[in-house]
C-alpha cells in the first residue's frame, strides 16, 4: 500500500490538502480514511505538491508521424519514458496523414509496448483517409474485438491532405464507430482533424443534422487554428460536443494564426463554451515546421512534454485557470473518448496519478495502475 500524505488534490475538482491511499492498483481511500500506518505502508510526503489524475493525451502518434514532403520528414517513434516524464498515463495513439508508410499494425505494436511499460495506453483505428483503414476490415469489429481500440481517427476535414469526405460518409463512419463503442461498453468516438480550410466544422454539423447521432460522437481537434474556428468550437460544446485544443506549436505557427492553449481556453470561455467539454492534447509525434530567416529548414516532432509545459505555464501566468486546465488534461478527454474510470481520482477508481511541484508545476512522480513509474524525477525500472 502507498499513502500520499498532505498533497493539494485536484481530482480533477479542487479538494484541498488531502491524503490518498493506494492498494491493489486502485485508490482505496481519500481524506481522513486514508491515514493508515504500518510496515506494509509506503508513506510519500505530498506537502508542497499537486496531486492530479494521470494525464490523458487524446492525440499522440507513438509509432511516429509526419511524412509530408517525403520519407525524410517522418518523425520517430515516442518511447514510454517521454510520456511518463510528462505525467501522461493514458496516451491515445493514432495514425495521421500517412497510413501507407505506417500501418495500424505498427501502431498497435507501439501501443502494446507502452502498455508493457506500465501505461494505460489506447489507440484509434483509421487515419486521415476515408474510407478508414482498419485492422479487421470493419470499423465496429475493430472496436469490439481489439482491446486497445477505442475509436476512429484522426479523420481529416477542411484539410487539403485529407480525402474530402462527404457529410454522408462522415455520418456513416460515426455511426459504425458508435455501434462498436456501444457493443464494447466504452469508446465509440471519431476524433476529427480540422485543417485550415474555410469549411471548419460545417461538415460535422451537416453529418449530425437530421441523424439520430449525438454531437459528442464527433470530437474535433486542432480547434485553436483560428478565432473563427474557436467560435464554432464554442458553439459545438453548447450543442453537446467535445473539442480539443492542440498544445504543441511554434512561434512561426503562432505568427501564422495559431492560438496558444491558454489564449484558446480564454477565447472559448468568452464564447460561452461548456468548459467541461474542452480538452488539451499534445499531438506528440506530429511534425512541426522549423524555420530559419523565414525559410523552412526542417521539421521537429511535437512531444508529450507540451502538456506538462501547459500545467507549468498555467501556474505561472493564469493560476485562476488551473481547475479548467487540469480537467482539460484529465477528465474531459476521458469523457470525450468514453474511457470509464480514467482521468479521475476517486475511491475505488484506478490509481493513475502524478505529483507535481506546487510552485513550478513540473511533474516529479508518476504512478499508473498502482505502480510507480517515476519517483523524484527518476524513472523506475521493473
CA 156 to each of CA 90, 217, 234, 261, 282: distance values in angstroms, whole numbers, following the listed order: 23, 15, 20, 21, 17
Close Cβ partners of 288 (under 8 Å, ≥ 6 residues apart) = 248, 249, 250, 253, 299, 300, 301, 302
| Cα 317 to Cα 334: distance, rounded to the nearest angstrom | 26
Close Cβ partners of 63 (under 8 Å, ≥ 6 residues apart) = 77, 93, 95, 102, 106, 107, 109, 110, 285
| Cα 158 to Cα 178: distance, rounded to the nearest angstrom | 22
Cα angle at 314 between 291 and 286, to 5 degrees?
A: 35
Close Cβ partners of 142 (under 8 Å, ≥ 6 residues apart) = 125, 134, 135, 136, 149, 180
302, 282, 246, 304: which is closest to 83 by C-alpha? 304
Residue indicated by cell numbers 478508414: 132
Q: Helices marked H in 212-257 — which ranges?
A: 227-238, 251-255
Burial environment of residue 354 by CB neighbours within 10 A (0 to 12, 13 to 18, 19 or more): buried
Do 352 and 54 meet the contact criterion of CB atoms below 8 Å apart? yes
3-class SS of residue 269:
helix
- 318-323 long-range contacts, Cβ below 8 Å, gap at least 24? 318/262, 321/262, 321/265, 321/266, 322/10, 323/10, 323/12, 323/13, 323/14
C-alpha cell at 81: 519514458
In this structure, are strands 88-93 and 122-125 parallel, antiparallel, or unpaired? parallel
Residue indicated by cell numbers 447521432: 213
The yes-or-no answer on residue 283 being catalytic is yes
Q: Which of these is catalytic: 19, 82, 98, 283?
A: 283
The 10 Å Cβ neighbour count of residue 116 is 10
**Residues labelled catalytic:** 283
Amino acid at each position: 500500500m502507498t499513502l500520499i500524505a498532505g498533497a493539494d488534490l485536484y481530482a480533477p475538482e479542487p479538494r484541498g490538502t488531502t491524503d490518498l491511499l493506494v492498494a491493489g492498483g486502485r485508490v482505496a481511500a481519500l481524506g481522513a480514511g486514508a491515514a493508515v500506518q504500518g510496515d506494509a505502508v509506503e508513506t510519500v510526503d505530498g506537502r508542497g505538491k499537486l496531486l492530479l489524475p494521470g494525464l490523458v493525451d487524446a492525440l499522440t502518434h507513438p509509432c511516429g508521424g509526419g511524412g509530408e514532403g517525403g520519407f525524410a520528414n517522418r518523425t520517430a517513434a515516442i518511447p514510454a519514458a517521454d510520456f511518463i516524464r510528462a505525467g501522461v498515463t493514458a496516451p491515445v495513439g493514432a495514425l495521421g496523414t500517412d497510413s501507407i508508410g505506417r500501418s495500424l499494425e505498427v501502431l498497435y505494436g507501439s501501443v502494446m509496448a507502452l502498455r508493457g511499460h506500465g501505461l494505460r495506453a489506447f489507440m484509434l483505428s483509421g487515419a486521415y483517409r476515408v474510407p478508414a483503414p482498419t485492422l479487421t476490415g470493419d470499423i465496429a469489429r475493430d472496436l469490439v474485438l481489439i482491446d486497445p481500440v477505442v475509436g476512429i481517427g484522426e479523420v481529416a476535414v477542411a484539410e487539403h491532405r485529407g480525402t474530402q469526405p462527404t457529410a454522408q460518409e462522415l455520418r456513416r463512419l460515426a455511426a459504425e464507430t458508435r455501434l462498436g463503442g456501444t457493443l464494447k461498453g466504452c469508446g465509440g468516438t471519431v476524433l476529427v482533424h480540422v485543417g485550415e480550410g474555410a469549411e471548419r466544422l460545417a461538415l460535422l454539423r451537416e453529418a449530425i443534422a437530421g441523424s439520430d447521432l449525438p454531437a459528442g460522437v464527433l470530437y474535433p481537434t486542432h480547434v485553436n487554428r483560428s478565432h473563427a474556428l474557436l467560435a464554432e468550437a464554442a458553439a459545438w460544446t453548447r450543442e453537446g460536443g467535445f473539442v480539443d485544443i492542440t498544445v504543441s506549436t511554434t512561434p512561426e505557427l503562432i505568427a501564422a494564426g495559431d492560438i496558444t492553449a491558454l489564449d484558446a481556453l480564454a477565447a472559448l470561455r468568452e464564447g460561452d463554451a461548456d468548459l467541461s467539454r474542452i480538452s488539451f492534447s499534445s499531438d506528440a509525434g506530429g511534425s512541426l515546421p522549423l524555420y530559419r530567416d523565414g525559410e523552412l529548414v526542417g521539421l521537429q516532432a511535437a512531444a508529450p512534454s507540451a502538456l506538462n509545459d501547459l500545467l507549468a505555464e498555467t501556474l505561472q501566468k493564469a493560476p485562476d485557470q488551473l481547475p479548467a486546465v487540469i480537467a482539460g488534461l484529465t477528465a474531459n478527454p476521458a469523457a470525450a473518448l468514453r474511457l470509464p474510470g480514467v482521468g479521475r481520482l476517486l475511491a475505488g477508481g484506478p490509481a493513475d496519478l502524478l505529483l507535481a511541484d506546487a510552485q513550478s508545476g513540473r511533474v516529479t512522480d508518476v504512478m499508473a495502475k498502482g505502480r510507480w513509474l517515476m519517483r523524484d524525477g527518476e524513472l523506475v525500472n521493473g
